């Protein structure tokens, strides 16, 4: 029975899938062109040791990222431990004590709480402890950036405006890359000396352009999400103006040294190949998300974005409405994972969260959310956040398994 329902959902979204195929082809062409122009070759895959002076693989990888994201410069490093680490590097790199950071998209992603330090018990070394101040401008109803309010909120000490492309784990639309254009223009014409940094996590290659092409001074993300293509084993990146990237590179290694040192004995093949695969992997993940949205719409459960909505990230939120459905859905996704399929997730008290959380992930690269994973807080309306999938076929099988497990538990 689920096979038929899945097939009919798949047929209903066929035109969306064709749009995704076209986009995958466009990004693949762009990446291929950069590899060819830069004559990427086996010698760029070799690992280096020690200082890594003259590490041609590292430098070429930076060059390819700059080409693909349309920027002057890039810093792509396995040493940047995660998306949060990349964001922290950028926030510290682009501000000095006395400067203010202003969020144009309301409250940022959870992990930035300790980095910025607004919580009750901020970790030592936060931005606030280091003399930066922080304010935020909420999004308008409907999730658009309130450009006039951001303009009005920028003060004499506001050196950095930050914005988050992805919905994160909120019931709000992700922001289309084009929407960063007017924000960047406003900042650069009315407030020269203030930069725009975009948290690009989960967004890469989902739309036709990137925020880095729309005037953002710096875009930041994780290599175990979209641009690593499921192959990069770890790392973070930033792309942007020469000056902004250099400041972050000075922060990563040392002032005056920047991107000129840094070795990686493991070599760079997985990073090049991962980027080459990324438009395809992202397409697989987005197709899985759209299929999930449509299946649950057919079951009269609300999804965000809806199956027909434009998308700017890989996250699919689904309002499951009951705790049993959320638990069984996540358990079903776990049961269908290639790794740790025998683990049965249960809701637990995760540090830093008020409600219990349930999480499902059985990934090759530990914690990689470009691979199929799912989680949700145990509170009404019991929203599941589903993201990733290395292959659409796996995404489809996992959805079927989750539906069966929900049905066996009497949840649907």
Site for ligand PLP in 59-118 (CB under 6 A): 82-84, 109, 111
Taking the C-alpha atoms of residue 10 and residue 3, their distance in angstroms, rounded to an integer, is 10
- Range list of β-strands (E), 293-341: 303-304, 316-319
User: Is residue 197 classed as helix, strand or coil in its secondary structure?
Assistant: strand
Shortest Å, Cβ 141 to ligand PLP: 21
- Taking the complex as a whole, how short is the minimal distance between the CB of residue 224 and ligand PLP, in angstroms? 7
- What single DSSP character describes residue 349? -
Q: Per CB under 6 A, does 385 bind ligand PLP?
A: no
Q: Is 373 in the site for ligand PLP (CB under 6 A)?
A: no
**Angle value at C-alpha 193, between 190 and 199, nearest 5 degrees:** 95
What one-character DSSP code corresponds to residue 115? I
Q: Residues touching ligand PLP: how many (CB under 6 A)?
A: 12
In the structure encoding, which two tokens stand for residue 256, read together? 């005056």
* Nearer to ligand PLP among residue 199 and residue 297 (C-beta): 199
Residues 128, 100: Cα–Cα separation, whole Å: 10
State the minimum distance, in angstroms, from the CB of residue 282 to ligand PLP.
14
Q: Does 164 bind ligand PLP (CB under 6 A)?
A: yes
String marking each residue 200-229 x if it binds ligand PLP according to CB under 6 A: -xx-------------------x-------
What minimum distance in Å lies between the beta carbon of 375 and ligand PLP?
12
At residue 181, the 3 state secondary structure works out as helix
- Inter-residue contact 405 to 331 (CB < 8 Å): yes
Distance from first CA to last CA of the chain, Å, rounded? 13
Least distance in angstroms from the C-beta of 364 to ligand PLP? 16
How many other C-beta atoms can be found within 10 angstroms of the C-beta atom of residue 361?
A: 23
Considering only 125-133, 199-207, 240-248, 255-263, which stretch makes contact with ligand PLP by CB under 6 A?
A: 199-207
Q: Smallest distance, Å, CB 275 to ligand PLP?
A: 17
Sequence-distant (≥ 6) Cβ neighbours of residue 324 within 8 angstroms: 409, 410, 411
Stretch that binds ligand PLP, among 151-159, 161-169, 267-275, 299-307 (CB under 6 A): 161-169
Q: How many other C-beta atoms can be found within 10 angstroms of the C-beta atom of residue 351?
A: 4
In this chain, which of 166, 304, 312, 373 binds ligand PLP, going by CB under 6 A?
Answer: 166
- The CB-of-232 to ligand PLP minimum distance in angstroms stands at 12
By the criterion CB under 6 A, which residues form the site for ligand PLP?
82-84, 109, 111, 164, 166, 168, 199, 201-202, 222
């Amino acid at each position: 029975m689920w096979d038929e329902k899945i097939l009919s959902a798949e047929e209903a979204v066929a035109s969306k899938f064709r749009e995704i195929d076209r986009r995958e082809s466009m990004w693949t062409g762009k990446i291929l062109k950069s590899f060819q122009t830069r004559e990427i070759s086996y010698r760029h895959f070799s690992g280096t040791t020690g200082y890594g002076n003259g590490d041609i693989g590292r430098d070429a990888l930076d060059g390819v990222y700059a080409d693909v994201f349309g920027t002057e410069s890039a810093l792509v490093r396995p040493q940047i431990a995660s998306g949060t680490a990349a964001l922290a590097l950028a926030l510290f790199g682009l501000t000095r004590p006395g400067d203010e950071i202003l969020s144009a998209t309301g409250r940022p992603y959870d992990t930035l709480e300790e980095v910025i330090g607004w919580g009750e018990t901020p970790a030592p070394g936060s931005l606030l402890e280091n003399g930066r101040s922080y304010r935020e401008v909420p999004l308008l109803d409907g999730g658009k950036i309130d450009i006039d309010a951001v303009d009005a909120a920028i003060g004499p000490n506001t050196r950095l405006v930050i914005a988050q492309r992805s919905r994160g784990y909120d019931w709000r639309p992700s922001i289309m890359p084009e929407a960063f254009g007017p924000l960047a223009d406003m900042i650069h014409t009315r407030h020269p000396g203030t930069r725009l940094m975009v948290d690009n996590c989960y967004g890469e290659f989902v739309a036709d352009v990137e925020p880095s092409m729309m005037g953002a001074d710096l875009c930041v993300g994780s290599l175990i999400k979209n641009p690593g293509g499921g192959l990069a084993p770890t790392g973070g990146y930033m792309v942007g103006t020469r000056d902004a990237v250099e400041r972050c590179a000075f922060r990563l290694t040392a002032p005056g040294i920047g991107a000129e040192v840094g070795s990686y004995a493991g070599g760079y093949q997985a990073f090049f190949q991962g980027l080459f695969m990324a438009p395809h992997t992202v397409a697989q993940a987005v197709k899985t998300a759209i299929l999930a949205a449509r299946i649950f719409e057919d079951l009269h459960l609300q999804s965000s974005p809806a199956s027909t909505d434009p998308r700017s990230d890989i996250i699919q939120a689904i309002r499951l409405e009951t705790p049993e459905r959320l638990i069984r859905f996540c358990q079903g996704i776990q049961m269908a994972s290639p790794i740790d399929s025998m683990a049965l997730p249960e809701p637990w008290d995760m540090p830093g969260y008020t409600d219990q959380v349930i999480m499902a992930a059985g990934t090759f690269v530990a914690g990689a959310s470009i691979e199929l994973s799912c989680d949700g807080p145990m509170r009404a309306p019991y929203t599941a956040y589903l993201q990733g999938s290395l292959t659409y076929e796996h995404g489809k099988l996992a959805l079927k398994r989750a539906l069966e497990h929900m049905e066996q538990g009497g949840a649907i």
